[in-house]
Structure 1
Amino acid sequence: MIPILYEDGEALVIDKPARLPLERPRAGGASLADRISELRLGFQRDPVPVHRLDTDTSGCLLLARNPKALKRFNKAFEDRVVEKRYLGIVEGTLNDSEGTITLSLSKISSAEAGWRMIPAKKGKPATTHWRQIASAGGLTLVEFRPETGRTHQIRVHAASGLGAPLAGDPVYGNRATAPRTMLHAAGLVVPREGKSPVVALSPLPPDFAQLGFAHE
């Protein structure tokens, strides 16, 4: 069973395992879509993911339990009132202890390499706040708080903004430096009018500990 981090009548936050894609891959294999009925937990409808996490990314994923909740949560993300906290392991050491990366992003694709996101002046604006937490074995644990929610935002901002790609990132870094792209959705706060906010925290997974980061 996928761990539940938060549950009420309109929201579920699950602790998504790393390497589990949200949708069924073209090449086949397991996905969250195959297991969504497990997450009904007595409700008649399947819950619906409100936002996206990359296949490799672990941690907090919000699901809506009815269409009205989905609409409300979508608006919260669009209005940028959702607080998202990620923890990532980047290659190397950093000179600064904290900062803000503002790099607009655009999608490019080629037949040989597939698609990827790149910094581009004419791209969509993207902002990420970051701070250094710890370092070990030539790697650094970094907290990322994205203001925007662009595709691959943290991955590109780490590689091009910090100059230190996420360990294990096969697209923007070096696949050989870690068992996966080392990014974890550690915290989520979703405000709700007239109700207490949805608040979820996900502990660091074991593969972070294997690289020397057992605690934040």
Structure 2
Amino acid sequence: MPNAFDIGARLLYRDALLLVIDKPAGLPVHPGPRGGETLTDHLDALRFGLPRRPEAAHRLDRDTSGCLALGRHAKALARLGELFSGRSVEKTYWAVVERGPSAEAGTIDLALARRSNDPRSWWMKADPAGDPALTHWRVLGRAEGLTWLELKPVTGRTHQLRVHCAASGWPIRGDAVYGGAPRGSALHLHARGLTIPLYPKRDPVRVEAPPPPHMAEALSACGA
């Protein structure tokens, strides 16, 4: 991600408590052991007069693009944390997968656990003794050898959608970790939308992010 990255141009929603941005693929949200540029490096540009920068209210993988919610201050972050951990936020993803399911909709109920005891490792595996993980899916379009899916994770396990799709026999296109794609491939997974019931007496906040350029060709082939 170039240093000239303009985070303000990727702002999708703003109010007194919440910001939602369209995170680009390839940019980690938080600093890691290998260093390098992260989203955190750009958040001061989103203070909009507040004394502290906003902070991410949930996780989004480095290689996943799309909707990321930010809390503008400590109380907002606490409220958003409750909503995300309590599964009150509806998260919608778009994925282009290799091959694809024969059915038009379904549910994946498959527990997940870390592949390694190393706390630095984020790789996951299907494991009946792991943490429960549930994903609803439906087909949005098809092409030769590809399927465009809408994915709605009920739980929020690390790499849940990537492992669930791969374990089902239709890995996400470009997934070098779980799908056997060449290293450096562009992951075709996009956080399409968030529905956040942030205010008790108002309608939920609904935000959508446009699909990223690297998914355009595959989505078009599938009928998008």
- What corresponds to 1:26 in structure 2? 33
Matched position secondary structure for 1:194: coil
- What corresponds to 1:140 in structure 2? 147
- What corresponds to 1:210 in structure 2? 217
| 168, 171, 177: which one aligns with 1:171 | 177
1:89–1:167 Cα contact (<8 Å) kept: yes
- What corresponds to 1:116 in structure 2? 123
- What corresponds to 1:187 in structure 2? 193
| 88, 102, 106: which one aligns with 1:99 | 106
Count residues with an aligned counterpart.
213
Q: Cα offset for 1:51?
A: 0.3
- What corresponds to 1:197 in structure 2? 204
Q: Distance in 2 between matches of 1:92 and 1:174?
A: 14
Matched position secondary structure for 2:91: strand
Unaligned runs of 5+ in 1: none
2:176–2:185 Cα contact (<8 Å) kept: no
User: Greater share of strand residues, 1 or 2?
Assistant: 1
- What corresponds to 2:50 in structure 1? 43
Q: Distance in 1 between matches of 2:209 and 2:29?
A: 18
Q: Distance in 2 between matches of 1:196 and 1:47?
A: 23
Identity of aligned residues (%): 46
Tell whether 2:149 aligns with 1:131: no
Q: What is the TM-score normalised by the length of structure 1?
A: 0.92
Q: Distance in 1 between matches of 2:123 and 2:32?
A: 17
Deviation string for 1:52-98 (max 9, x for gaps)? Answer: 00000000000000111111111111111111000011111321111
Q: Distance in 1 between matches of 2:138 and 2:184?
A: 21
- What corresponds to 1:155 in structure 2? 162
- What corresponds to 2:3 in structure 1? none
Q: Distance in 1 between matches of 2:86 and 2:153?
A: 13
Unaligned runs of 5+ in 2: 1-5
Q: Distance in 2 between matches of 1:29 and 1:186?
A: 26
AA of the residue aligned to 1:96: A
- What corresponds to 2:78 in structure 1? 71
Matched position secondary structure for 1:72: helix
